[in-house]
Amino acid sequence: MADLQHDLRPAAAAEEFDDLTQQYPDEGVVAAEPYEPVSDPDDAPLTRAHAILAAHPVADGYNGLPWALKRLSYYDLEDGESTVGTDVPRLRRGHVGALFWSLHLPEGLDGDRAVGATLEQLDLAKSIVRTCDEGLRPACTAGQVADARNCGRVAVLLGPAGASAVGDSLGTLRQLHLLGLRALTLTGVSWASDAGLTRFGEEVVREMNRLGVIADLSGAPEQTVRRVLSLSRAPVLFSRSAARAIRPHPVNLPDDLLAELGAAKGLCLVPLTAEQTGPTVRDVADHLDHIRAVAGAQCVGLSGTYDSGSAHPQELGDVSCYPRLIAELLRRGWEEGDVALLTWGNVQRALRGADFTARAAQQRRAPSTATISELDG
């Protein structure tokens, strides 16, 4: 990224989510402030966990609420909604400061149907945020996420969506970005497969870098993962991947890929699901311990996966339960600085990196007009 930094010139951000760049202008990318302890080491772990989370809330990397609400004729997220695992009161009890809303679709949707269904989910997500403006605020950049938190709101970022939402059109990718999309999962399409990225797939990644759309590699084939890691100028993330050495789930990552992710300054968001991490809060903590040891403290985060149809470990049944997980980590000797990175700092770094890369790339290249037929034949 150093070569981009040297050429960076001031430019207006390209992001738009209901004209957010005009309402809440990003102040630019700045280095993280040094961490200062916010709790008393002599306090009980759960009390310390609440104190740390009050200063460094959870940035949840994957939440399926929009799709879960499609089946409800009425809901009230502001006062509390027992039919789902996510509502504003529980987000506040869990000290959640930001969350990514998944736009993934049921299997079997592709082509124009996938594009249309993704647009409908984007529309629904924006409608939900508008009706919960006392508790939620839309965001596209790290600055807007911080602004929402400072105003006592939970920041909502849109994505990840499946790559099928783009179809084979870079123009569709740009329009989804203008509507607020900030992460795209590179699986389930011809240009990102077991054979890796095609030439068109590589152009998609370059255009994502230019726009500020983060590449999500959870579930992507290994060849695709390695090519994106070498190609992307912006940080990548795995939105729902734990450690395969602890639990051999196909979406979990082996140690060699975790090490490569750490070297690339990417981000592994550990899902709170019984299937991928295990049935207890201690199992989740085992994954976090392992990934921190292999990839580094700056490359691990949290992905609740609430309201996505997954079963959750004991004591982690909804978004209010994050303090219990943090208390378990403190019992294991985690330093408060590493906890602050896990919950908030690492996702903020990834968002800043994506925004920084986009601003620099927009000075170097125009929107790509390449087509899949031109590049892949």
pLDDT tens for 22-39 read 343 343 333 445 667 776
Q: Is residue 23 in some structural domain?
A: no
Token representation of residue 72: 């409800």
Q: Is residue 3 in some structural domain?
A: no
Q: For 275-294, write each residue's pLDDT tens digit.
A: 999 999 999 999 999 999 99
Domain with 325, as residue range(s), is: 60-365
Residue 343 maps to which CATH number? 3.20.20.140
Q: At 108, is the pLDDT very low, low, confident or very high (cuts 50, 70, 90)?
A: low
- Low-confidence winner among 55-59, 61-65, 165-169, 330-334 (lowest mean pLDDT): 165-169
Q: Is residue 49 in some structural domain?
A: no
Q: Is the pLDDT of residue 2 over 70?
A: no
Q: Is residue 131 in some structural domain?
A: yes
Q: What pLDDT is attached to residue 17? A: 47
Q: What pLDDT is attached to residue 167? A: 87
pTM assigned to the model: 0.89
The 3-class secondary structure across the chain, one letter per residue, is CHHHHHHCCCCCCCCCCCCHHHHCCCCCCCCCCCCCCCCCCCCCHHHHHHHHHHHCCEEEEEECHHHHHCCCCCCCCCCCCCCCCCCHHHHHHCCEEEEEECCCCCCCCCHHHHHHHHHHHHHHHHHHHHHCCCCEEECCCHHHHHHHHHCCCEEEEECCEEHHHCCCCHHHHHHHHHCCECEEECCCECCEECCEECHHHHHHHHHHHHHCCEEECCCCCHHHHHHHHHHCCCCCEECCCCECCCCCCCCCECHHHHHHHHHCCCEEEEECCHHHHCCCHHHHHHHHHHHHHHHCHHHEEEECCECCCCCCCCCCCCHHHHHHHHHHHHHCCCCHHHHHHHHHHHHHHHHHHHHHHHHHHHHHCCCCCCCHHHHHC
Q: Is residue 116 in some structural domain?
A: yes
Q: At 105, is the pLDDT very low, low, confident or very high (cuts 50, 70, 90)?
A: confident
Q: Is residue 46 in some structural domain?
A: no
Name the domain count of the chain: 1
Q: For 117-162, write each residue's pLDDT tens digit.
A: 999 999 999 999 999 999 999 999 999 999 999 999 999 999 999 9
Q: What pLDDT is attached to residue 29? A: 37
Q: For 10-23, write each residue's pLDDT tens digit.
A: 333 333 344 443 34
Q: Is residue 162 in some structural domain?
A: yes
Token representation of residue 276: 């991928």
Q: Is residue 27 in some structural domain?
A: no
Provide mean pLDDT across the span 35-53. Answer: 84
